[in-house]
Amino acid sequence: MIKAVIRILVIFLLSILFYGNIYFWTDENGIKHFTNITPPLNETVEESKESNAVFENQLFRVLKVFDGDTIKVTGFDLTFKIRLVGIDSPEIGFKGQKSQPFSQKAKQHLAGLVDNKKVAINSYGTGAYNRQLAEVFVNNKNINIEMIRAGLAEVYTGRRPKKLDSQIYLKEELRARRAQKGMWIQGSSYKSPRQWRKEHPRK
């Protein structure tokens, strides 16, 4: 029995470290629970890598805004980071390093949109640093696209999830560029967050 419990715990810890999986179960009263920390051993627990099956019709409270494209949320026994999928905001300097122009404005704008609010999540799975890649919604408003519209994020130029409809993102970025909103006012001196990261690697 002890060996079985240890084996379950080891598998669970490995899954959290490498996959960021979410576990859910329904108690005897029919109430559904979620966790990405420690599922109860006395319940029949299911594991989900398809996060949307868990997040559907659920609201989470935003605890913290880290920058223009990363937040922390909590709800239903879950506390986790979200990387707003499909967008890339100017980089805030790490441990005293130089910050990219408009990085603080991007963070402030995102905070104004989501801080201490209830958000819905459309997840595209787990990305780097064990973060959920997701579209975030406040009252059905797509916050990812709002950051693009404000000129405080560009469309992410790396690999995007196949199921993500990038066309509206690209369309809104073009509008923001033409209107020179936010960071686009920099014109030819503008550097993408990706280029900035290459030139200013974390030490």
CATH of domain 60-199: 2.40.50.90
- ∠ CA 145-149-152 to the nearest 5 degrees? 95
Would you call 173 a catalytic residue per the annotation?
no
Would you call 7 a catalytic residue per the annotation?
no
Per-residue pLDDT tens for 2-21?
654 444 444 344 344 334 55
**Closest CA relative to residue 127, chosen from 180, 172, 81:** 81
Q: Which one of the listed residues 131, 149, 154, 173 is annotated catalytic? A: 131
Q: Which one of the listed residues 43, 47, 61, 91 is annotated catalytic? A: 91
Would you call 177 a catalytic residue per the annotation?
no
Q: What is the pLDDT of residue 21?
A: 56
Average pLDDT over residues 92-115: 94
Per-residue pLDDT tens for 105-156?
999 999 999 998 999 999 888 777 778 899 999 999 999 999 999 999 999 9
Sequence ranges of the domains in the chain: 2-49, 60-199
